[in-house]
Structure 1
Amino acid sequence: MADNQNIPPSDQDLQLARLIGETLPDLSGLKNSADPLLIRLFAYKNSVSQSVEPINSTAVWNSIHSEINTSSGSARILHLSPAIRRYVMAAAIVMIALVGSFLYQQLTAPTLVGESFASAETVTLPDGSAVTLRPYSTLFAMDVSDKSAKYKLSGEAYFEVAHDPSRTFSVRTDQSEVRVLGTRFILSDWGNTSTVYLQEGRIQYTAINSHQSIQLEPGQSSSVSETTTTPEVNSSEEAPFTDWLNNELVFQNKPVQSVFNELEQHFNISIEAQPAILQETLSGSIPLDNLGSVFSDLGLVLGGTFSETGQNSYVFKSNS
């Protein structure tokens, strides 16, 4: 290739450089390319993913350029113009920078400490605290030290926190945060709402969006959603919050939408229904032995049937 700026659009190397530029910042679409330059770039990416040494862009390019020009077989000889060379170098450096970003995220990523699937699982934390995870829930350790323990919950869990006045214990969801010293509480994060119920001790409950906090006493609950600015204290019966620990669902004047949301979490499914049905309220209890019996019981109460529409997807239709 001539070393000038007037490279025809059909030039193979120019097309390659443009392709790299067009796919940034997500370069995954280039992994299946047979182009020797890209093969060397991804080989280098894989090699540096095992190291956290500083990146020397000049050395990177010289190494790649040398490998391509001395490779046997069908690899072509590349003599890129300054303009195109800078373009491809930039793409290579961005690719490697993405690897560095990935490594940093891996080093700072939360650590999975507990996960449940079709049944509840109990996890014992290093400080002796016990966490019972509702089906299809996960617990991550964010930052655990001698002075504090910070966790992240997705789903729902029952926490029995070991008392330690010298160490704070906190759990975050997407909507809220709970801070305690030693207590028992239920925290959920499903249906676009985070709800906490305090069984024993004392907690501080904070809405993430507004940073507004309240103090809860035993027997009190509070909820936070995407639209909540200030959490409110509610006096509540314990059974509707601890019911799943006994493998049942208890509801008292609860909207059907909320019942469906809870079933979606518990069985890892999705349920669709007409808005009129979702606004109705229910009171009672049903065992959570299996999804079929749950749908049968609810169908009788609501006057309709549940039908499967896809994998883990259902729709409720009224008989009327």
Structure 2
Amino acid sequence: MDSQDINVLLAKHFSGETKPEEEAVLMNWIKNNPDEYISLKIFFAESQPLDSPQLFETGNAWNRIAPNLSSTKPTVFQLYKKYIYATAVAAVFILISTFAFLYANTEITVQTANGQVKSIELSDGSLVTLNDNSSITYKRFLWNNRTVSLNGEAFFEVKHDESKPFSVNTGTLSVKVLGTSFVVTTKEKEKSVAVITGKVKVTATPTSQTVILEKKQAVHYVSNRLIKSDTANKNLLSWKTKSLSFENTPLQKAFQDIEDCYHIKIQVEGKISDSCTVTTNFKNESIKEILEEFRLLFGLSYTQKGNTVWVKNISCEK
């Protein structure tokens, strides 16, 4: 049954004029759309004028008095009845349209807790993977305006639509794309955008400075400036993939990537030599397995309590 038929049934239902078979059809629709029906019922009740609360009972009144009227009168009442019926249909149509508009433009906010990662599919088919301690706000239906707001970090896989660019706003940075995959980070100590595939335009909101990024390029917002780099961190998505790759990577940087991947904090006792590097790979290993390998490689000792790891006695002798 199409929406126009439902509109007619709802109008008759609210005026108390549905037949048993029509009521059965409508009850089945209400069973599948309870929230929409309740909202329409509330809208309908609130929209009734105070001086004519029984407006939609006119049809019933007509049925009761019709047999007692002379044959020269019914045309006037019939026209009035049709007018009331048409008004009811129009009112229900307006209410449904209003409800649909409000429903479509409802803003949804998704948040993640510490150590939690969530995957979200937007109404346009775009996919978002939200890192921990992050939040994203978007409209329920991204029709003409594909814009979302981000706080924290997320990986976007945007559905291509040349006529409707996709935008991510962070307050400091604005990212606009047509169809691509990229990571946006907007944390207290880091604000950056890195492109995995495709091309994006990044604008620094405070200064209006703009840069174009292509595959494997990144930009960092530092001291009110956008600084572009040609090589994005290969472990950028480790928090999503649980894969880490190090090739002559400074140990301090390796610890930072491990922190991001496993949502932990590594506290190192003393200063790590710049000559201390690591070459190894991990795939779906536990944090304990990784720490054990580093213990064997560098002779270090470590203790872990909750989400914090204390490391000391690092030896970088080859």
SS at match of 1:240: coil
TM-score normalized with structure 2 length: 0.54
Using a 3 Å threshold, how does the CA distance of structure 1 residues 252 and 154 change in structure 2: closer, same or farther? farther
Deviations along 1:297-316, one digit per CA (max 9) or x if unpaired, are 233334312213x5422221
Count of aligned pairs: 208
| Mapped pair 1:165 → 2:162 | yes
Report matched runs for 1:284-303 at 5 Å: 284-303=280-299
The answer on whether the counterparts of 2:124 and 2:143 sit within 8 Å (CA) in structure 1 is no
Distance 2:221 2:299 in 1: 32
Per-residue deviation, 1:214: 0.7
Per-residue deviation, 1:125: 0.8
Distance 1:214 1:184 in 2: 17
Selected match of 2:235 from 230, 240, 243: 240
Deviations along 1:85-130, one digit per CA (max 9) or x if unpaired, are xxxxxxxxxxxxxxxxxxxxxxxx9742353765643210121101
SS at match of 2:254: helix
The answer on whether the counterparts of 2:109 and 2:138 sit within 8 Å (CA) in structure 1 is no
Using a 3 Å threshold, how does the CA distance of structure 1 residues 282 and 126 change in structure 2: closer, same or farther? same
SS at match of 1:277: coil
Unaligned residue ranges in structure 2 (runs of 5+): 1-105
Distance 1:213 1:278 in 2: 37
SS at match of 2:225: coil
Deviations along 1:11-54, one digit per CA (max 9) or x if unpaired, are xxxxxxxxxxxxxxxxxxxxxxxxxxxxxxxxxxxxxxxxxxxx
Using a 3 Å threshold, how does the CA distance of structure 1 residues 311 and 170 change in structure 2: closer, same or farther? same
Report matched runs for 1:174-189 at 5 Å: 176-189=173-186
Higher gyration radius (CA): 2
Unaligned residue ranges in structure 1 (runs of 5+): 1-108
Q: Matched residues, percent identical?
A: 25
The answer on whether the counterparts of 2:298 and 2:314 sit within 8 Å (CA) in structure 1 is no
Matching residue of 1:215? 212
Selected match of 1:318 from 292, 297, 313: 313
SS at match of 2:281: strand
Using a 3 Å threshold, how does the CA distance of structure 1 residues 140 and 156 change in structure 2: closer, same or farther? closer
The answer on whether the counterparts of 2:115 and 2:133 sit within 8 Å (CA) in structure 1 is no
For the aligned residue pairs, the C-alpha RMSD in angstroms reads 3.4
TM-score normalized with structure 1 length: 0.54
Per-residue deviation, 1:170: 2.1
Per-residue deviation, 1:209: 5.3
Distance 1:124 1:114 in 2: 14
What amino acid sits opposite 1:160 in the alignment? E
